[in-house]
Structure 1
Amino acid sequence: MKMLRILSILVLSVMSLSAKDIMEKNLDPLFLGEDTISLNFNEKWNIGDLESFAVSSNPLYLREKQNIGIARGDIITASLYYNPIVNMQQQFIGARATSGTGLPETSVIYNQPFDLSGVIPQREKVAKQEFMATIANFNDFDRLFRLRLRQNFWTYLYVTEQINYQKEFLENYQDLLDLTKLRAEKGDISFLEYDRLTLERIQIDREYRNARILRAQVVKNLRVLIGLPDSNVPLEVKGRLEFFSTKEFGLELDKFDIEGRPDLVVLKLRQQKERMNIELRKREIIPPLTLGVEYLNKGTEHVTGIYASTPLPLFDRRQGEILKSEESFKKLTFDVEAKRNEILNEISAAVKELQARESQLLEYKQFDLINKNREVQEKSRLAYIRGASNLVTFLEAEKNYLNVLRNYYEIIYLYYNALEAFRAAIGKMDTSDL
């Protein structure tokens, strides 16, 4: 009995330790394996955190990455030599010595095909070229993936700025409504002014709620892009929609090399692959030579012999495959030139938009637009509170203030979108310069 109690205590202690370990693992929201990046979801994320987590957790991104492994398998398959063939034969029907067929026969044949024209090395070169094209294709997917992620990041910051100033406006309007109601009750002003202010507040409240709905949609897009399936996990983005010039980012708009852009690299690599394919099809005209060794046993007779066999390329000399590869090479040559023109036009449009947005924002910065706009709005509000201005003038000043804020942040948002479009156009999507 005493031993039983000791054993039960030991078992319970081990079970409690195991349960504790399991609970600690379950409490970790990122317990998905050793390769998962550990991040604190209670903290705000910057664009670098979002990208790092997305490229390690998004199933669509990881799925696209598997194509590289598939192409690596094609290289292994292409580099393998021909398998030998072994034939074994036993004749046993009519095996009596007095029968027509004579004694039973046993034969073993070993065949080995040989590559005389270098098909296998050329086939391996073609597979390696396709492997490099697959890597470049993934790099292009990564470029577009990061572009979409950053566009949603800037949209989040833009909508957040809208929410912030509209929230501030709503709070100020509530104070103003209370004051206007008090003045209307005293008879200083008409209740019509109070009703009109109420209508204006309702309009701003509608825009505020719409902005919150839009931000929720942007957060949904960010969750999908970074691979967060659990809607209970908080996601807050860190950053402000502030203007920084291209010089501060270290960008030179007139210095770029389009030859390194991934989608152009893909086409050039596949063009070279088709050139190699032409050579491969020509080498395949000469079929493999098969050498064989045969051993035959029939009673007391033992016979050994060798033989060789190869197909004669009298009719099928890969004419169709050679023509197809030549035409594919010509087609890809046109594709490369068309892609170059497309990239140059894309960069030109991105540079023009970026320069236009930047020059406008530099003028705003020199004029100190935001501070002067706030100063005018505060003076207008103070004049209305003191009774030195009527309601129409006050509401017009409020609308101007809101429009200036909205236009200013919209231009910054469009500026950063153009900046990311330029980066994507030249194929440089590094986070180190953010």
Structure 2
Amino acid sequence: MRRLLRRSAFLLAALLSGVSMQAQAPPGPITLQQALDMARTRNPNLLSGQQHVIATRATEITAGLRQNPNFTLSGANVSLPANNPSSPYTYVGNVNRLFERGEKRRWRLDIAHATTDVTQSQYKDSERQTVLAVKQAFTQMLAAKAALKIADDNLQGYRKTVDLSKARLDAGDISATDFERIDLQLAEFESDYDTAKLNLTQSSDQLQLLLGIDKPTDTFDITGTLELPTLTAPLTQIEQQALQSRPDYLAAEQSVRLADANVKFADANGSIDPTIGGEYERVGVFNSAGFQVSIPLRIFDRNQGEKERTRYEAQSSRFAETAARNQVVNDVDQAWAGYETAISMATRYHGHYLQEATRVRDNLEFSYRHGGATLLDYLDALRDYRQTNLDALNANTQVWLAIHQLSFAAATEILP
């Protein structure tokens, strides 16, 4: 009892400390690994799943318990005088116990162990999904920070263009209409900046929610890169890792063992369990002892229905395991295809389009300031440059999201 109380106090203290941790945001920028560690220890859904696993494991104790004996004590005529020969007092003490046959306790333990294994794998699968959500939210926040930087650079750069155009207007080099057209374009850059700032706030709030922070704060920050990584693992290796590590597939395999244990337990429940007992009896001044053996006659009910049901359930579990295996391979193949498409697109932007958009913008800006290009050409070059930078950033983001999806499909960190 004392051990149980100490364990309960420890769990309560852990939960209370977890709640207090939820209200605290990290003091400085955190990395992706730190974010994942925080989610594993603070995310309320994962904490709930951990407690469910512990609760399920407790059923193993119940499954391993043996049958309790029964004790019965009865008396008759105890209110009469003991010396009354016609109605002597009588006391009877009886002890009996049910003896299980067919290894029922063994199969109950197998069922309990298998159920715990399945529950643990299901929790691991929930953790895998939470890890994916954290990685995606972290990447989206990195992308939002980079997009805000691009929007701010574009806005500050274009404001210099507006200032220069105002000086040219005052000097009579351009018309008022041309200046107003340039000034109107500033609204688009300001709108881009406001939208990027909103996206950063929303992505930050989403990540903080996954990390178990109950109230989002503006001081929360992360650090990382969206530079294109190098992936060296081949597809066949990733598929093998997935079949070895995917918790949902492991749960399907464990469900087969659970179903087999249920079949054996149903067979065992068809056996006869005798009840054996002994008794002591005192009548007046005489003592006697006796015994009882009770054997149920299972003429009609031999657990036939459960035997048949569990066998069909076991076959169903085997089909489900095959389906889960096929799903694992399919998920990895689709994630790999998404990664190849994303990396191909990102490589094109960084190998060609970004440099070209920068050269076109710089050349047309120089030409326009010196009267060699029209206003429309310059504004078009600015739009192309802004959109190309955002597209390149989005391409990098998609590469990282594809890698996270591939790691999720394989239940293994693809990047070292």
Answer yes or no: same fold by TM over 0.5.
yes
Q: Is the 8 A contact 2:226 2:400 kept in 1?
A: no
The percent identity for this pair of structures is 21
Residue 140 of structure 1: how far off its partner (Å): 0.9
Q: Cα deviations across residues 206-261 of structure 1 (Å, max 9, x unaligned)?
A: 122112112211111111111111334721010122111213xxx32231224221
Secondary structure of residue in 2 paired with 1:221: helix
**Paired AA for residue 235 in structure 2:** L
* 1:425 and 2:409 are equivalent in the alignment: yes
Residue 387 of structure 1: how far off its partner (Å): 2.3
Closer/same/farther in 2, CA of residues 211 and 365 from structure 1, 3 Å limit? closer
* 1:396 and 2:353 are equivalent in the alignment: no
Q: Is the 8 A contact 1:146 1:429 kept in 2?
A: no
* Alignment counterpart, residue 104 of structure 2, candidates 107, 111, 119: 119
Residue 335 of structure 1: how far off its partner (Å): 1.6
Q: Cα deviations across residues 81-124 of structure 1 (Å, max 9, x unaligned)?
A: 01111111122377357989711211111112212211001110
The residue that corresponds to 1:352 in the other structure is 337
TM-score with structure 2 setting the length: 0.89
**Paired AA for residue 106 in structure 1:** Y
Secondary structure of residue in 2 paired with 1:306: strand
Q: Is the 8 A contact 1:159 1:215 kept in 2?
A: yes
* Alignment counterpart, residue 158 of structure 2, candidates 166, 173, 184: 173
Q: Is the 8 A contact 2:276 2:293 kept in 1?
A: yes
Closer/same/farther in 2, CA of residues 92 and 379 from structure 1, 3 Å limit? farther
Closer/same/farther in 2, CA of residues 410 and 106 from structure 1, 3 Å limit? same
The residue that corresponds to 1:254 in the other structure is 236
The residue that corresponds to 1:382 in the other structure is 366
**Paired AA for residue 357 in structure 2:** N
Residue 151 of structure 1: how far off its partner (Å): 0.6
| C-alpha distance in structure 1 between counterparts of 2:25 and 2:42, whole Å | 15
Closer/same/farther in 2, CA of residues 218 and 35 from structure 1, 3 Å limit? closer
Q: Is the 8 A contact 2:151 2:196 kept in 1?
A: no
The residue that corresponds to 1:408 in the other structure is 392
Residue 167 of structure 1: how far off its partner (Å): 0.5
* 1:80 and 2:65 are equivalent in the alignment: yes
Secondary structure of residue in 2 paired with 1:227: coil
- Taking the TM superposition and a 5 Å limit, the aligned residue runs for 1:228-247 are 228-232=213-217, 234-247=219-232
Closer/same/farther in 2, CA of residues 324 and 33 from structure 1, 3 Å limit? closer
Secondary structure of residue in 2 paired with 1:295: strand
Secondary structure of residue in 1 paired with 2:30: coil
**Paired AA for residue 378 in structure 1:** D
Q: Cα deviations across residues 126-163 of structure 1 (Å, max 9, x unaligned)?
A: 11111111111111111111011101111111111111
Residue 351 of structure 1: how far off its partner (Å): 1.1
Residue 52 of structure 1: how far off its partner (Å): 0.7
The residue that corresponds to 2:130 in the other structure is 145
Secondary structure of residue in 1 paired with 2:404: helix
Q: Is the 8 A contact 1:94 1:101 kept in 2?
A: no
Q: Cα deviations across residues 45-72 of structure 1 (Å, max 9, x unaligned)?
A: 1100101111111121111111221121
Closer/same/farther in 2, CA of residues 234 and 289 from structure 1, 3 Å limit? farther
| C-alpha distance in structure 1 between counterparts of 2:261 and 2:77, whole Å | 52
Closer/same/farther in 2, CA of residues 366 and 147 from structure 1, 3 Å limit? same
Q: Which runs of 5+ in 2 are unaligned?
A: 1-15
Secondary structure of residue in 2 paired with 1:133: helix
Closer/same/farther in 2, CA of residues 101 and 284 from structure 1, 3 Å limit? farther
Residue 383 of structure 1: how far off its partner (Å): 2.1
Q: Is the 8 A contact 2:141 2:203 kept in 1?
A: yes
* 1:58 and 2:61 are equivalent in the alignment: no
Q: Is the 8 A contact 1:41 1:233 kept in 2?
A: no
| C-alpha distance in structure 2 between counterparts of 1:365 and 1:162, whole Å | 16
Residue 397 of structure 1: how far off its partner (Å): 0.5
| C-alpha distance in structure 2 between counterparts of 1:92 and 1:178, whole Å | 116
**Paired AA for residue 277 in structure 2:** G
Secondary structure of residue in 2 paired with 1:254: helix
Residue 189 of structure 1: how far off its partner (Å): 0.9
The residue that corresponds to 1:361 in the other structure is 346
Q: Is the 8 A contact 2:82 2:284 kept in 1?
A: no
**Paired AA for residue 284 in structure 2:** G
The residue that corresponds to 1:161 in the other structure is 146
Q: Is the 8 A contact 1:181 1:191 kept in 2?
A: no
Bigger shift: residues 186-195 or 369-378: 369-378
- Taking the TM superposition and a 5 Å limit, the aligned residue runs for 1:273-312 are 273-312=258-297
| C-alpha distance in structure 1 between counterparts of 2:184 and 2:175, whole Å | 15
**Paired AA for residue 189 in structure 1:** I
* Alignment counterpart, residue 335 of structure 1, candidates 293, 297, 320: 320
How many residues end up aligned between the 2 structures? 398
Secondary structure of residue in 2 paired with 1:341: helix
- Taking the TM superposition and a 5 Å limit, the aligned residue runs for 1:185-224 are 185-224=170-209
